[in-house]
Amino acid sequence: MTTPAHRCVATPPHAVPTVLSAPLSGKQQITPFLPDGPIGEIEADGQCVLVTALAINQANEVIFLSLVGRDTSSSAVLAQLWQGKQLPLSVRKPHLWPPSPHVQRCKELTYTSITSTLPTSKMVHTITMPHTGHIQEGLLHPPTTVSPPPHHAEHRVPVSKERFLFANWDEEEPHSSSFFGHLHAMRIVVLYRGEAELREHWAAELWRRGLRRSLILPCPSLGIRAWRIEPDVLAWNALIGQGVRDGWLPWR
């Protein structure tokens, strides 16, 4: 039995499927907090800050970090992190976080931080992530191109770094605009045009098929959801080309 969330009815190329896939369920606004409070604490040079959300890559390196504390304390923790030091992480529910009890940066990535002052408080909220997790950075700074493999000799191929995508802790999928934003940042050729519901169909089909092909991989996280998007531009474009030809990605 065909269900909207998994498969569309087979149709000729470019035709609109009779059943559109269910849209991705994530919200556009991300709130990196669990309902029962912070997930733990990080201490550096005698300064302690609360951790409300954390995500790491396969090497136990930070790809998302949400801190709440005094401005001086948060700055001290981040300064130690940027210097490449491992910082002790005290998790309030250790059974929910089996990875390393330390946090560290990835030396191959550059990071960006966003800080805001909490109302009626001397505390600040700081979110840190790699530039490859920030959609605007990816759109403003396109990847370089190199000569492709011999069987693609007529084109130059964008060399994108792995990208990281986030959603709220209780969501199984991201928002479609966030997903498409990262694909555009990687310079993935998206042929979609037409109505908004077809755009949602494209996002849902590419997301679910990307997961099945391991082009999208979940990352260990707490207080937030995180995924790694493989930077294989040729594989992504091949998936889109197949979808257009086979009809599960309609193009008007």
Same domain flag for 73 and 93: yes
Asked if residue 22 belongs to a domain, the reply is no
64 φ, ψ (degrees, to nearest 5): -160, 130
Q: Among 42-51, 90-99, 120-129, 185-194, which stretch is predicted with the lowest mean pLDDT?
A: 185-194
Average pLDDT over every residue of 210-237: 95
Same domain flag for 122 and 191: no
pLDDT digits (tens, 9 = 90+) for 62-102: 999 999 999 999 999 999 999 999 999 999 999 989 898 99
pLDDT category of residue 140 using cuts at 50, 70 and 90: confident
- Which residues partner with 147 through β-bridges? none
Asked if residue 23 belongs to a domain, the reply is no
Parent domain of 51: 40-131
**pLDDT for residue 228 is more than 90:** yes
Residue 87, CA atoms < 13 Å, CB-side half-sphere: 29
Number of domains in the chain: 2
pLDDT at 67: 97
pLDDT at 190: 77
Domain end (from 131, 155, 190):
131
Asked if residue 3 belongs to a domain, the reply is no
Q: Is 177 helix (H, G, I), strand (E, B) or coil?
A: helix
Same domain flag for 114 and 152: no
**pLDDT for residue 30 is more than 60:** yes
Mean pLDDT rounded to a whole number for the chain:
86
Domain end (from 87, 105, 131):
131
Residue 74, CA atoms < 13 Å, CB-side half-sphere: 22
Q: Among 137-141, 155-159, 247-251, which stretch is predicted with the lowest mean pLDDT?
A: 155-159
pLDDT at 6: 40
The conformation of residue 248, written as its DSSP 8-state character, comes to S
CA 249 centroid distance within chain: 23
